[in-house]
Chains A and B, each alone.
Chain A
Amino acid sequence: MRDVRVAGAGLTAFGHVPERTSRDLFAEASIAAFEDSGVPREDVEALLYGNFMGELSEHQGHHGPLMAEAAGVQAPATRYESACASSGTAVRDAVMRIRNGEADVVLVGGAERMTNLGTAGATEALAIAADDLWEVRAGMTFPGAYALMAQAYFSEYGGGHEDLAHVAVKNHENALSNEKAQYQSAIEVDDVLEAPPVSEPLGLYDSCPISDGAAAVVLVSDEYAAERDLDAPVSISGTGQGGDRMALHDREFLARSPAAREAGEEAYADAGIDADDVDVAEVHDCFTIAEVLAIEALDVAPIGEGISAARDGRTTADGDTPVNLSGGLKAKGHPVGATGASQIAELSALLAGDHPNSEFVADATTGVAHNAGGTVASATVHVLEVDR
């Protein structure tokens, strides 16, 4: 099987730019990715592109060819839609195409335009990742669904809002040096506890912001990287995907993410690693409770102990396994279709020593990226390893 290498990556700043179209955002990210990679555009054999709410936010479907045009790529292009895991699934398919020899160079990425919808419009658009008949029509929102999981977690395993607050504080702290992050501001536990409630127990500071942004990654085969003498020390050595029932109430567990566990186990086995080998993780923390569920699903923390990991310093920058050194979705921002690819970009930079927070993982060889869709009815996990 052929190794897959990250040749280059590009991100726009994530944030509030309601006037910018997703084609403009993706053009910027792809220009940066091509410059970073040294790969000529004409070598790209496919564009795999993640986007969730383009029909609602900019009356635009059929994003694939539009984004190939925006990136200046003459290649067939396909849009991937798996809610907030859209570009995670795109990355997974890009990896598989390169591995099985169908392509040597794939451009993978995603973008989302969200802030032009306003808070109410974005809340409505995000809610369609849930079951319309049985969840949305009962008044469930996306934060509401995670709040249901948080409350179920507290009942089952203990912990409380103050524990969750430490997750938000940690991720804001990590984002301070990330110039692409939406929030580069430190917060304290009390700020989280005193913030306006969104869906109890989750408040404004437990929630990722509504964001605009794009991410692009140039993936290449090992052979291509060697032939071109590319500087590409990071490989994607494992990929996995898991699924679960659409509606939260139809799941066996209300306070666990079996789809993420399935994806993680598959990715670990694929890479030939154990959870113990994971030095650093970028996980899908759309809400503080989501990070807790994610690190438990990935066996970075035992079931029932993820809640205290940030508070106890196990997942902070100087902890055993730093989680979300980029700032995570919480502070970096969450333009949903771009998130999975942006995690690959951040983790790759962290491992390669090109990230402002690389100093915290100077000896790290193995990282894991976890991208979740909806209330984790979809999940992808990727293992990244760096040549040392």
Chain B
Amino acid sequence: MSDDETEVQDAGFDEWLDAAEADAAYALECPDGHGSLPPRRVCPDCGATDLEETSLPDAGEIETFTVTHVPTPAFEEDAPYATAIARFGPVRLTGQVVGVDLEDVETGLEVELEITVSETTGERVLGFGPV
């Protein structure tokens, strides 16, 4: 996070990262139980507009992963790094896998959210660490 008070935040997203850093990550849920991620006013599955925050489980499971060697400039100094999609209750998330050797990342690996920072930009990055 930047110390610059004038820096514009992304409403919904930056609050979510703040919450995740405080171990209070959440998804949005509609009355029919469809999960989605903020910022969002409408359930993308059914169009319901009364969305409520629901806590994410502490642990998730990696469903697929890759090790990226050719990054965007924002991750130039981070490469190679592992990116995964992991399921946490009603939603899946895309994140960078940290705290584990690249060759040990695998489908089915149990992970928890860990907000980390890009070595290149110092910006916060949604990450997954082994449980």
Contacts and interface: CB of A to CB of B under 8 A. Distances in A.
A327 B91 CA distance: 38
A139 B75 contact: yes
Interface string B56-70: 000000011111111
B122 interface: no
Interface centre among A136, A200, A202 (most CB of B within 10 A): A200
Contacts of B71: 123, 139, 141
Interface in A216-248: 245, 247-248
Contacts of A199: 66-70, 83
Interface residues of A, number: 37
Interface string A126-161: 010000011111111101100111111001000000
Interface in A272-301: none
B94 A134 contact: yes
B85 A249 contact: yes
B4 to A, nearest CB: 18
Contacts of A139: 68, 71-72, 74-75, 78, 81, 83, 96, 118, 125
B69 A152 contact: no
A196 B79 CA distance: 14
Contact of A143 (B44, B70, B85, B96): B70
A138 B107 contact: no
A96 interface: no
A253 B2 CA distance: 36
Contacts of B94: 134-135, 138, 140, 148, 247-249
A18 to B, nearest CB: 18
A197 interface: yes
Given A147-B66, A155-B107, A199-B68, A138 B74 contact: no
Nearest to A198: B70
B69 A249 contact: no
Chain A contact residues, majority secondary structure: helix
Interface string B6-49: 00001001000000000000000000000011000000100000
A135 B126 CA distance: 9
B75 to A, nearest CB: 5
A288 B96 CA distance: 24
A120 B66 contact: no
B99 interface: no
B126 to A, nearest CB: 5
A248 B85 contact: yes
B70 A249 contact: no
B41 to A, nearest CB: 15
B24 to A, nearest CB: 18
A250 interface: yes
Contacts of B74: 124, 137, 139
Nearest to A247: B94
Interface in B76-115: 76, 78, 80-81, 83-85, 91-96, 107
A213 to B, nearest CB: 22
Contact of A151 (B64, B70, B91, B95): B64
A254 interface: yes
Contacts of B36: 250
A319 interface: no
A119 interface: yes
A302 interface: no
B83 A138 contact: yes
B126 A198 contact: no
A149 B76 contact: no
Nearest to A122: B72
Contacts of A196: 69
A140 B70 contact: no
B38 to A, nearest CB: 9
A168 to B, nearest CB: 17
Contacts of A148: 64-66, 83-85, 94
Contacts of B67: 197, 199-200
Contacts of A133: 10, 13
- Sorted nearest first, the 4 A-B pairs with minimum C-beta distance are A147-B66, A249-B92, A152-B64, A124-B72
Interface of B: 10, 13, 36-37, 44, 63-76, 78, 80-81, 83-85, 91-96, 107, 118, 123, 125-127
15 contacts: A137-B125, A138-B83, A138-B94, A138-B126, A139-B78, A139-B118, A140-B94, A141-B70, A143-B70, A144-B83, A199-B67, A202-B66, A248-B85, A249-B91, A249-B93
Given A197-B80, A199-B66, 20 more contacts: A123-B70, A123-B72, A124-B73, A133-B10, A134-B13, A138-B126, A139-B68, A139-B75, A141-B70, A144-B68, A144-B83, A148-B64, A151-B64, A152-B63, A152-B64, A199-B67, A199-B68, A200-B69, A249-B91, A254-B64
